[in-house]
Structure 1
Amino acid sequence: MAETHGSTAMSATGTTGGTATTTRLLEVEGLSSAYGPVRALDGVSLSAEAGRITAVLGANGAGKTTLLRTISGLVRPVAGRVVLDGEDITKASVESMVGRGMAHVPEGRGVIAELTVDENLRVGALFRGKVGKDEFDRVYDLFPRIAERRNNAAHTLSGGERQMLVIGRALLAKPRVLLLDEPSLGLAPRIVAQIFGLLRQLVDAEGLSVLLVEQNARSALSVADVGVVLNLGRVVVTDSASTLMGDEDLRHAYLGF
């Protein structure tokens, strides 16, 4: 079983002429967060790189959602720091994150039910200021299903369509780092495969960095480059997704398959 020591995360690397090359867009260093007396994160360290999907895995209560909420500023840490492209953003406001290049898609597919698909996208674009037609067209090209329903009220969408809408809304911000919390929750396997396949295409084509929190470890590892396993708020393992997928002892111990 591959393990980290002192919660220090291994970063994935590419190679050019035999020399490792990495672009760490997001670095989390010794991050701890608490809800009252309960410590949800305990010294978590990891990195997420350009052109990579980093999957954060673990059982319910492991601290996965708290990790994303702390990175994006929704929860203030009691220790540690968050660095985005070399800038310490630990104390930055939630509202400033989009401008800094980070978008957070929380669990729950939060759309404004009374607004149309198109209006939901435009609300998401408000934080960026003026957004051109080409950028809206790009989202609709990525998600043809929501393009077909652009004039429909969001409450008429299926769960998969709502997930496509909230991801598309986040992409309008042109993030360098995309935080995704449980995008597969409640969706049919076919829709999950479609969404994860699209994420893989975006990462490969545009160099986007995705930090993906998932309960569905098998699906997440199938699309990720790196896996980080949390248990009770601590990093217990960080390794390549393929290595974690092949580690039967680890999968049984922490990932449930």
Structure 2
Amino acid sequence: MLELHELSTSYGPVKALRGVSFTAKEGAITAVLGANGAGKTTLLRTISGLLRPTSGTATFAGTDLVGTAPEKMPRLGLSHVPEGRGVITELTVEENLRLGGLGRGGKVRGDDLQRVFDLFPVLGERRTAVAHVLSGGERQMLVVGRALMARPRMLLLDEPSLGLAPRVVAQIFSLLRDLVAREGLAVLLVEQNARSALSIADHGVVLNLGAVVADQDAASLAADDTLRHAYLGF
């Protein structure tokens, strides 16, 4: 579904991505792992059009993404959930969700809202609450739900576990796994919590200083002691 070939991105003279190539398949979770500064967030920002690569290609379902404006990505079927749980705190839960549905064009349907409330019952219970009263875990559910309102074919998720309690992380990761199994959604998951990410991923890609140092199935990656100790910290 997503194919990257020799993708490179720079911040001025600093090369943040160095010839990154890998494929993320439909109906699968691909975990992108690595230490701080490895290039994980830059990778997602490049795919979603927030940064323009200096070289290489990125294609999604056969469509060239290089040069595509970020606001056009939802209509192609890509939804990017950046790091930081960026909800609009002055709006209600339902209003935040409805904004997510606008990205694909047309009216927001009631069944899209109900689908998110079925996935995240706590959001249904708090649909009229303003977002600033939500806990960190609830805000993370809200930003994922908002991305799902565009009915994407692929989710780009940046550090969804950051700052959350292990119980909440397990809940969110379990929901992601269910979504992939039930709806065939593809997920590109950037995570610092490598152990948790590999427990739900089908495939893993490890970045180090902007370059791919491993690209293999998640189970093999988790079992590779040398790689884990050198790049993943467990």
Coarse TM-score class (shorter-chain normalised) = over 0.9
Which runs of structure 2 are paired with 1:78-89 in the superposition (5 Å)? 78-89=54-65
Does 1:206 find its partner at 2:183? yes
2:207 alignment partner, SS class: strand
Q: Deviations over 1:165-193 (max 9, x none)?
A: 00000001111111000000000010000
Aligned match of 2:76 in 91, 95, 100? 100
One-letter identity of the residue aligned with 1:242: A
Shift of 1:28: 0.8
Per-residue CA deviation, residues 157-215 of structure 1 (Å, 9 max, x unaligned), is 00000000000000011111110000000000100000000000000111110000000
Per-residue deviation at 1:135? 0.9
* 2:66 counterpart residue number: 90
By how many angstroms is 1:62 displaced? 0.1
Instruction: Give the deviation of 1:50 after TM superposition.
Output: 0.8
Aligned residues: 233
Matched, 1:33 2:9: yes
Which of 114, 138, 142 lines up with 2:90 in the alignment?
A: 114
Equivalents in 1 of 2:167, 2:19: separation in Å?
36
The residue type equivalent to 1:255 in the other structure is L
Cα distance in 2 for partners of 1:123, 1:55 equals 27
Residue type of the partner of 2:88?
A: I
Is 2:35–2:232's contact at 8 Å kept on the other side of the alignment?
A: yes
Q: Which amino acid aligns with 1:125?
A: G
* Matching residue's letter, 2:215: T
Per-residue deviation at 1:126?
1.5
Deviation by residue 1:100-151 (Cα, 9 ceiling, x = unmatched): 0100000000000011101111111122221211110000000001111111
Q: Of 150, 161, 180, which residue of structure 2 is paired with 1:173?
A: 150
Query: Could you say which residue in structure 1 is the equivalent of 2:27?
Result: 51
Paired amino acid for 2:160: P
Which SS does the other structure have where 1:210 is aligned? strand
Structure 1 counterpart of 2:107: 130
Mapped to 2, the partners of 1:94 and 1:215 lie a distance apart of 25
Give unmatched runs, 5+ long, in structure 1. 1-24
Aligned partner of 1:205: which letter? R
SS of residue in 1 equivalent to 2:44: helix
Which residue of the partner structure matches residue 143 of structure 1? Answer: 120
Match of 2:192 in 1: 215
Does the Cα contact within 8 Å between 2:102 and 2:150 map onto a contact in 1? no
Q: Give structure 1 regions of 4+ aligned residues with deviation exceeding 2 angstroms.
A: none
Q: RMSD over aligned Cα, in angstroms?
A: 0.6
User: Scaled by the length of structure 1, what TM-score is found?
Assistant: 0.90
Once the two structures are superposed, residues 28-80 of structure 1 have per-residue CA deviations (whole angstroms, 9 ceiling, x without a partner) of: 11100010110000000111111100000000000000000000000000000
Amino acid corresponding to residue 52 of structure 2 in structure 1: R
TM-superposed CA distance for 1:245, in Å, is 0.8
Cα shift readout 1:83-112 (whole Å, capped 9, x = no counterpart): 010111211111110000100000000000
Q: Distance in 2 between matches of 1:177 and 1:82?
A: 14
The sequence identity of aligned pairs, in percent, is 68
Give, as a single letter, the amino acid of the residue that structure 2 aligns with 1:233: G
AA aligned to 1:230 is L
Q: Secondary structure at the match of 2:103?
A: helix
Q: Report the 3-state secondary structure (helix = DSSP H, G, I; strand = E; otherwise coil) of the residue aligned with 2:17.
A: strand
User: How many angstroms apart in 2 are the aligned matches of 1:31 and 1:245?
Assistant: 25
- SS in structure 2 at match of 1:203: helix
- Residues 214-245 of structure 1, C-alpha deviation per residue, up to 9 Å, x if partnerless? 00000000000000000000000011111111
Matched residue SS, 1:95: helix
Secondary structure in 2 aligned to 1:123? helix
